[in-house]
Structure 1
């Protein structure tokens, strides 16, 4: 082992300064080296174990963000470490010019979980999965003479120009327009508005089963049943963006299973890789074969290391009964938050281990900062909403520790 790699391992083991660099030094160097699009993040993390992470000053936090619903198995899970290490030692990359076994196994596994005739395209991120879905929808539009798309207000589908054209958040969208696509936005959850907007000229409807970046906003009962019926009646594709919501996050493999429907196109990412970058676009039924040879591609998509990581995630979720655990732990967390009597707390919403504590005012950033001081990492996803998306393996005792501390966190902010 080299001196440098040995120092890195030592620092990671102790939770101390990575390679001797302090948090303040790394923060200054971050500002000097990176574009300012992220601002300055509030902590320098150097190590994770289970559902906890440590910063460069040795402070431990309960991770209730999981890398934005990514770290499904927490940090350093043996199954994930073993899968990534073993695969990297055998074959780390092949490109799309050749077949590798992990990508085939992963695609087959996803189709088995869907229990529907389908085909998979593997990519590297959620945005890329949605770009693939958009290209499928564009090909459907060209072959059927359809001219426009429908998406939801406040929806989020990614930052690339194609995905951004479907994103209904003016604050991140408008400065990069105009966009080449005709996208018509409707209020999320309003089935009547959706029915009026979707005609036989509509190529596809893009929706999230729960709006994540809007503040973990679930749909009203029956909304996705209506969306499926509307698309069936008009011939539009129903595309469900499950970048955040799938792979057990709501207590089901896929969030649309909460509503008993099946989309025409499904996009996945985040929790699928457990920390490794991966995305997937799944075409179901006729949408499975819309692409012809050369229509789309990705150099890194189907990377064997990322595919091996995703297989480890899926295997562990099934083997350890994590879907049931997510439902139980999610109920405990949601009911615990709802039971907090505090003037700053307006309620809680969401499904499974994907919740938002809704505030009575725009104090989410302050709550996030106070929670960090108390040893908990949460996310101010909207000015009045704090997102909680912990690893799926979080223990009930960890949930109870947060619930015990939450009233004091709110009182610190209110004071």
Structure 2
């Protein structure tokens, strides 16, 4: 059968460097770090005392105090970025067939803050179960797309993808596949995460996964730098409106880009560590290229997973060299996590937005905080260190890898009728 074409018609973002798509992109191209000392809880006894928190987000003002109290922050973030994307796409759902509009959302953990608060309250009590009636519906990871569908009256396919830090790349791929198979007309898709709390920071500290550069948080996320010492936790949400091309044209939608492929793979190696030779990462990039009907030489920019961990960064570069061969030296790569931190289940969506905007603006956002070359990396690769670079970007790829060995990669290209 002939696949239908799928295009991007709306974007929304809530990030540590901006509470809208415009602010986010401005932060990226100007190399702004979202990392600072944590304000949301007392970090006195924590190894890591900083993160990339969302700033100046007023949940009560956005949702009303009564409704905000019923929602975990990861759902609040999802609704916020989705409202921007819906407005950006010019959607009037009263004029559309909402039975063919769905929501597929990614979150690696879901309502961690809610879970933490309820368990702490129980532990402080006398053993009598006094749980909030909203405990379970606030916590479960699938509740974000549920609330989005309720708000807009959308009755198409509705579920959450959970694959750790690949979650929202998987949500994009699932939505893309439903659309090109003709199973729906439009999807609200993306991801959200809110793990900057005692359990999230403490848990990742226990794994020795986080940077502990407490004396200089703004430069702590250092992908591909010799002195990288772990990732920086981030939070937020990214929403992408994916739409079947004919449906988009019929309603006169503006089109940012076309989504042309997605790949998925598994490392089948270790619970948390990536395969040392990058086998799963190379496989997923090749799978995405094959799905899109593209050759390695067609790619101009790769928004890499690039978390700033000692073992993760080298395996991804090995994978890029394996997947792209000599063309690895002709593309730009960059890790926008150097600015936003690692948004875990939301990372794929937020970074896909960066790739889409790179296409739109012919601008590659930088990998900031590079101070010292690491001899483990081939410096012929263009890491886009420290400053954004102008170049024609016709096709961009974005990678996401998660604990458990989950890998997902998506590809977008400039739209041509």
What band does the TM-score fall into relative to the shorter chain? under 0.3
Higher RCO (C-alpha under 8 Å, 6+ residues apart) = 2
TM-score (norm 2): 0.24
TM-score (norm 1): 0.24
